[in-house]
Structure 1
Amino acid sequence: MFRNKKGVYGYIDKKKIIEAVFTVILFGIVLSIFLIGYFTTHTRANLMTIAAVLGTLPAGKKAVDFIIVLKYKTFEKKSYEKCLQHEGKLTCAYDMIISSYNGLMPLNAVAISGNTVVGYTSAQIDDQKLSNHIKEILLNNNYNKVSVKVYQKLDVYLNRLDEMNKHLNSAEIHKDEQEKNIKSVILAISI
């Protein structure tokens, strides 16, 4: 079965397709229920109309989900391939839309090594606000000594990945479990 997993390259484009398909299916079901009720009773005043009206709630929610992801897109394949070349043994995730109280912020890539989290976004957003939001969420989840920095320049991000990999090779302890937990927290705040 087709699975769309958060943190994997191409997630946003696949999510758009999935949300669009489910929106059309749900509204099709609502319309079918209404039409079946109308053509069997020749009036709108029946239980099928009530069921159709109630069915618009989940259909409307899916439509909102589709509208939310509609303005975002997966970042360039060339940039993703460059990130893969510099990833090394770091814990990484790609193609996220981070939700906050102030709105949605796209995050193309994130890499985690020990207590260091670095990210890359190609969008014209306040990268410091995104860094602070991720750090605050990690603090709320008891990751107190984590440093977070989001870059808007791919070359700077890739250089930072190389530095993290060099440090990783010389470090004696590599905290795989903690990195996976930090990644799961970041994915949890992503839509």
Structure 2
Amino acid sequence: MALARHQFTVTDEAGNIVPFANVEVRAEIPGLPLVQLYDDRDGISPIGNPIVADADGFVFFHCLGGAYQIRVWLGALDATRNYVAVGRAQESDTVIANNAERIVTAAGAVAVTADDADIILINKNVGAATTVNLPPSAARTKPVRIVDRKYDALTNNITLVPNGAETIMGGASYIIDSNGGGITLTPLKDGSGWI
């Protein structure tokens, strides 16, 4: 797992450093759920949320790339920044980039077609594991990105299943099992699967 890193020094409105301030990170999606934060880029060492800045007001964390609400507070200081982009290319406008999106809200398995949208956002109305069935790789002319938009894949995994005997990166399936996780799959034109 390669997580994005975000770091900053907490200051008040006058620019004074605020040591030991509390820092809370929430996903900028409906409900604003708390985000799992990590001490390392590999996602091996989870840390709390909120976390506390050090004696120099410095704070850092690792998480999945995305848009976040970050709140800092201590004493008279209580400030919230919305739509903080964490990770590369976060908060970029997919419509401007000419990427079509499809949002899936209905229960049950999801079928991706050969000419489907560039980005499939899994945002089910119910909390349940989801199976995403991919089309034959030779029939798809462009990559497809599958994303956990409900932000509950840690509990309700999203399992990607290739067509027939095809593989995903050499495996029989691929599981998105982190909240807000996603993957971009590129079809192999030889019909052997996806990378």
TM-score (norm 2): 0.21
- Using CA pairs under 8 Å that are at least 6 residues apart, name the structure with larger relative contact order, 1 or 2: 1
| Between structures 1 and 2, the one with greater strand share | 2
Structure with larger Rg: 1
